[in-house]
Each structure stands twice: as structure tokens, then as C-alpha cells.
Amino acid sequence: MGKKRILFASQEITPYLPDTYMSNLGLELPKSSIEIGDETRVFLPKFGVIKEKTNNLHEVIRLSGMNLIIDDFDHQLIIKVASIQSARMQIYFIDNDEYFSEKTMFHDLNGKFLKNNEERMIFYCKGVIETVKKLGWSPEIIHCQGWFSSLIPLYIKLIYNEDPLFKNTKLVYNIFDNDFDGELNADLINKLLFEKKLNTKDLSLLKNPSFVNLSKFAIKYSDAVIQGSKQINNDISKYIKKSKLPLMTHNEEYSYEDSYNTFFNNIIEKKDLELSEKK
């Protein structure tokens, strides 16, 4: 098939963040996508541990400046970009002075889970979508990698579902074994309910916003699932099987670039079939 339009909303990408399986995948997937001719956009939270001068980040004035409303308060969206020359890839960073100024990712300097991680997650997910809207770019697939991107499927399916840019977009959630201890702030549901299109039934899985429930929630509003890690939580694995969504399992015997490309193609072709049937 022809080139695809893929949005990669990632939680970690090397070399900006520590070298992990997820961060390496965050780099290699869009890199291989670009190499085969796909049109890509890559997004990453601008965590405070990312060094701006070292990585040559600079603000994109034409994309920055809008305010995102979270819990009835305005928060300025700042968009920065940097390039990985060896991969011919540009990265968009979602930034905000309140949410991403600390020199950390998800824990404070004493190792405690940040109390506002749920707001930071909301801001990142909304920020990605609003930036894509400002770019006027219509992705065929949004690949969500890691729990920090887990609200994007909900936003696309229930809040931005009438936007022509996302009319035919398919959501693919990539689940990893990056569990976190405890739960996010229980006010997560109330903060999401400021979106007038949502109701408590839509958000029922988030009454106890643990890693497991957050993962199930993302899967609920996705069109396909990828098992990014060799081992994942058993409860999540059962939920995926029950969902009967298209699933790409973790298989180290094959080139993951080819596996992902084939999986994305199949998802898009299924979409095209659905559209032709409606006609």
C-alpha cells in the first residue's frame, strides 16, 4: 500500500530520556516508518530532565500560545521541536512551565510519585491533539506508547470525534510492563468531566486510576492493541483477549519494524474496507 500518515505519541524516546526498551522503540518505530516513506509526526512530553541546550530544543511560536483548560483552569501550551539528524526525524515536545519544569519524569527528588501526574497526563494528551489540529494534519493511525498517552483514545473517540481531521483515524495502544506503584489522583474523573461530552459512565474504569485500570481504559477506546513487552500484567492480558481487538503480540524472533509496519497496514486496510462497505 502507499505511504501512511502515522502519529507517534510516546512516553519515552531515546536519546532525550534514559535508554530503555520503550525509549529505543520510541525512536526506532518512527525512524523505520520514515525510511519506508511514511508521513510521520512524533510527540514527547518535555519532561524537566530533558536538557534543552544539549538537545537543541527551540520553541515553535506559531504553534505555542493556546491555553488548555484542566479542572476549570487555563494552562499555557508551549510547543518545542528538536531534530534527530541521523534518523531524519523531528520531535514535537509538549511543554508547560507548571507541569514540566521539575528535573524529573514521574517522581519527585525523594522518589515519590508526583501528586499532579494525572493533570500532567491530561495536558500531554490534549496538547498532542490540539497541536495536530493546528498543523491541519490528519493521521490515519495514532500509535500511543506508554500509560502517559492512555487518554488519547478517549479524546479522539468521544471528544474530537466530529472533527474531520480524525474522522477516519484508528487508535493503536501499545502496552508495556512499565507499572507504577499506587494510583493517580482520584480526582482524575472529575477533571475529565469538565469536557462536556463526557459522563461518569464513560469514565467508570478510572474510579480507581491504577496502572492496570488506566491500561484497560486506553484499550477500551482503541481499535487495536500491541503487546510491547515480553511480559505484561496478567489482568490486562485477559482484558485484551476479552476485548477481541486486533492484537500484535510480542515476538522477538521477527524484525519488529516489519511486524509493526504489517500490523499498521492491516489496521488501515480494515478501515478502508469498512468505509467501502458504508458506501
Predicted pLDDT of residue 278: 55
pTM of this prediction?
A: 0.94
In angstroms, rounded to a whole number, what is the distance separating the alpha carbons of residues 133 and 138? 8
Predicted pLDDT of residue 180: 86
What is the DSSP code string of 115-177?
Answer: TTHHHHHHHHHHHHHHHHHHHT---SEEEEESGGGTTHHHIIIIISTT-GGGTT-EEEEEE-S
Predicted pLDDT of residue 147: 96
Q: Are 222 and 172 in contact (CB under 8 A)?
A: yes
Predicted pLDDT of residue 274: 64
Q: Are 138 and 160 in contact (CB under 8 A)?
A: no
Residue 15: cis peptide before it, omega within 30 degrees of 0 = yes
Which residues are CB-contacts of 29 (< 8 A; sequence separation ≥ 6)? 8, 143, 256, 257, 260
Query: In sequence order, what are the beta bridge partners of 67?
Result: 76
- The CA–CA distances, whole Å, from 215 to 47, 119, 153 equal 21, 17, 11
In angstroms, rounded to a whole number, what is the distance separating the alpha carbons of residues 3 and 5? 7
- pLDDT, one tens digit per residue, over 222-266 is 999 999 998 999 999 999 999 999 999 986 655 677 889 999 999
Q: Which domains does the chain have, with CATH numbers?
A: 5-278 (3.40.50.2000)
Listed as ranges, residues in the chain with pLDDT below 50 are: 279
